[in-house]
């Protein structure tokens, strides 16, 4: 039983490392680069909501998996059949943070003179 738990934690930590690396790459390409597009001399900037979301959620979840192993699976387990108030607020908060970052990046691009 303990060996199975260790394997599960190791698998979760590897998943966390992958999420961290992919999330940081998406954050650099979809958040950092558009904020500094004028300095970098970019003529065209592409922003995709999915990649911005991955740039926000990926590093957060990656660090949680690296630190806590497989325990975040229990914390963020959502049952669509029995939604609780806590679950709804968590989903709304995550969507709100992602939308705020998208609007901030779009506003920064507009202030740099890019047409949206």
Number of structural domains in the chain: 1
Boundaries of domain holding 50 = 2-111
**Residues 20-72: tens digit of each pLDDT:** 999 999 999 999 999 898 899 988 888 898 999 999 999 999 999 999 988 88
Examine residue 45 and state whether it is found in any structural domain, yes or no. Answer: yes
Mean pLDDT of the chain: 87
Up-side HSE of residue 107: CA atoms within 13 Å toward CB?
6
pLDDT at 96: 93
Examine residue 116 and state whether it is found in any structural domain, yes or no. Answer: no
């Amino acid at each position: 039983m303990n060996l199975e738990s260790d394997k599960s934690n190791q698998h979760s930590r590897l998943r966390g490392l992958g999420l961290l690396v992919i999330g940081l790459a998406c954050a650099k390409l979809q958040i950092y680069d558009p904020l500094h597009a004028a300095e970098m001399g970019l003529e065209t900037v592409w922003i995709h909501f999915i990649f911005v979301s991955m740039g926000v959620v990926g590093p957060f979840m990656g660090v949680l998996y690296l630190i806590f192993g497989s325990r975040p699976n229990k914390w963020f387990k959502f049952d669509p059949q029995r939604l609780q108030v806590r679950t709804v607020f968590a989903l709304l908060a995550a969507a709100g943070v992602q939308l705020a970052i998208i609007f901030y990046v779009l506003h920064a691009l507009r202030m740099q003179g890019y047409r949206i």
